[in-house]
């Protein structure tokens, strides 16, 4: 086995690339067709970016709603402890929180798949 050192790597790179000579570029015959392909790929990328952004926006909105519900839930918890045991409104708030958790996890999964 040959020992690889930085000097040997530098020499190898220098011998492969000759200074002062430009690299050859390939001329592709069907340039218009390639432009169309490139344009369609750019459009697809833009579409995917818009979809992903809308999913992030939706997730952000759900997170905001979840934080509001959580805040209400925390406020209710304090007042309920001071006055009486759990009642219907607190249970509804807990259900809303659970639903938001489920929606958030679903959106995260969708974002990961895309």
Residue 12 belongs to some domain of the structure: no
**In whole angstroms, what is the distance from residue 98 CA to residue 110 CA?**
19
What average pLDDT does this structure show over 66-94? 59
Residue from 110, 101, 20 nearest 67 by CA: 101
Provide the pLDDT for residue 68. 81
Mean of the per-residue pLDDT values for the chain? 64
- The 10s digit of each residue's pLDDT in 10-64 is 666 655 555 556 556 665 555 566 677 878 888 888 888 888 888 887 877 777 8
Residue 25 belongs to some domain of the structure: no
Query: CB of 68 within 8 A of CB of 37?
Result: no
48: three-class secondary structure by DSSP:
helix
Q: How many structural domains does the chain have?
A: 1
Residue 4 belongs to some domain of the structure: no
**In whole angstroms, what is the distance from residue 39 CA to residue 89 CA?**
55
Structural domain harbouring 83: 51-114
Query: CB of 58 within 8 A of CB of 108?
Result: no
What average pLDDT does this structure show over 72-78? 64
Judged against a pLDDT cut of 80, whether residue 9 lies above it is answered with no
Q: How far is CA 108 from the centre of its chain?
A: 9
Q: How confident is the model at residue 111 (pLDDT cuts 50, 70, 90)?
A: very low
Eight-state DSSP code of residue 114: -
Residue from 69, 68, 65, 70 nearest 104 by CA: 65
12: three-class secondary structure by DSSP:
helix
């Amino acid at each position: 086995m040959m020992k690889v050192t930085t000097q040997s790597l530098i020499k190898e790179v220098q011998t492969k690339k000759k200074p002062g000579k430009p690299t050859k570029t390939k001329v592709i015959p069907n340039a218009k067709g390639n432009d169309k392909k490139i344009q369609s790929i750019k459009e697809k990328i833009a579409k995917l970016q818009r979809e992903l952004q809308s999913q992030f926006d939706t997730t952000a909105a759900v997170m905001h709603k979840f934080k509001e519900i959580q805040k209400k839930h925390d406020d209710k918890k304090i007042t309920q402890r001071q006055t009486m045991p759990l009642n219907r409104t607190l249970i509804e708030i807990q259900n809303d929180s659970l639903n938001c958790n489920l929606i958030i996890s679903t959106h995260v999964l969708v974002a990961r798949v895309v």
